[in-house]
Amino acid sequence: MMKKIFTRPKALTESPFHYCPGCSHGIVHRLVAEVIDELGVADDTVGVCPVGCAVFAYNYFNVDMFQASHGRAPAVATGIKRSLPDRIVFTYQGDGDLASIGTAEIVHAVARSEKFTSIFINNAVYGMTGGQMAPTTLIGQKTTTTPAGRDQEETGFPIKMSEMLSTLDGAAYVARVSVHSPQHIVKAKKAIKKAFEIQMSGKGFAMVEVLSICPTNWGMSPSESLKWLEENMIPYYPLGVYKEPAEVK
């Protein structure tokens, strides 16, 4: 399995990633690209990248790409999919993008059961702008805007997007995965593939939330970050499938 990760999928361009060492974005890009390859849909796929560390994803995915304004990728994807119903459309969004500034867009795209796939990177922090609190920052977690640790009295509670969105009837498939170990990477890829297949079968909206690390803004080494994710994020954000179409169960 590890070997396969290191051969460059066709759905990735030659451009080297700009991500920090150890950052999960690179891994998830590869998984998405491998899924596109395996499904043989690169020619039909249109991706939408966010504002956030993945803003340059349009340089990495070797498919037609849009760069969307902060949080609005689900609206942009709606416009694309409604214009080109036979294409495969995905958004790739961080937690500030999807769970803060863009909550309205994602909720309503799910409610309408738009037939695209969202890859949601939950790294519990705003990466690009310098490690500020995200809506997914854990209670007690230190960020540049919660220097004493997130205090629920001041800043409320983290949002569990997968749980929340899976309550909507428009959600066809919602799963939370993690990429902190090779085994979990394999599972994550399966979920991403499923999310694309759900779209291709026309069943409705599909999202995979990927628990990810941001060593740079967490102020840890990559290996410490992986451990922190496992010990702190997974208990609060349980992994698993939150919603899937009845017939696939």
H or E stretch at 120 = strand 117-122
Q: List beta partners, residue 234.
A: none
Determine the distance from the C-alpha atom of residue 4 to the mean position of all C-alpha atoms in its chain, rounded to a whole number: 21
Residue range at the interface with ligand SF4 (CB under 6 A); choices 42-50, 59-67, 121-129, 171-179: 121-129
Return the residues of window 187-246 that contact ligand SF4 according to CB under 6 A.
Answer: 214-217
Q: Per rule CB under 6 A, is residue 123 in the interface with ligand SF4? A: yes
Neighbours of 162 (CB within 10 A): 24
Size of the site for ligand TPP (CB under 6 A): 17
What is the rounded CA–CA span in Å between residue 183 and residue 164?
26
Q: Per rule CB under 6 A, is residue 27 in the interface with ligand TPP? A: no
How is residue 82 written in tokens? 């409604």
Q: Per rule CB under 6 A, is residue 128 in the interface with ligand TPP? A: yes
8 Å CB contact between 207 and 118: yes
Q: Per rule CB under 6 A, is residue 60 in the interface with ligand SF4? A: no
Q: Per rule CB under 6 A, is residue 225 in the interface with ligand TPP? A: no
Q: Per rule CB under 6 A, is residue 70 in the interface with ligand TPP? A: yes
Return the SS3 of 26. helix
8 Å CB contact between 90 and 39: no
What is the rounded CA–CA span in Å between residue 144 and residue 147?
5
Q: Which does 17 bind (CB under 5 to 8 A by kind): ligand TPP, ligand SF4, another protein, none?
A: none
Start-to-end C-alpha separation, the chain: 26
Q: Which does 46 bind (CB under 5 to 8 A by kind): another protein, ligand SF4, ligand TPP, none?
A: another protein
Size of the site for ligand SF4 (CB under 6 A): 12
Q: Which residues contact 213 (CB under 8 A, 6 or more apart)?
A: 22, 23, 24, 123, 180, 222, 225, 226, 228, 229
Cβ nearer to ligand SF4, comparing 123 with 166: 123
Cβ nearer to another protein, comparing 92 with 237: 92
Q: Per rule CB under 6 A, is residue 97 in the interface with ligand TPP? A: yes
The contact pattern for ligand SF4, residues 143-172, with x = CB under 6 A and - = no contact, is: ------------------------------
From the CB of 203, what's the least distance to ligand SF4, in Å? 31
Q: Which does 72 bind (CB under 5 to 8 A by kind): another protein, ligand SF4, ligand TPP, none?
A: another protein
8 Å CB contact between 61 and 12: yes
8 Å CB contact between 150 and 126: no
From the CB of 176, what's the least distance to ligand TPP, in Å? 16
State which of residues 52, 74, 158, 215 lies at the interface with ligand TPP (CB under 6 A).
Answer: 52
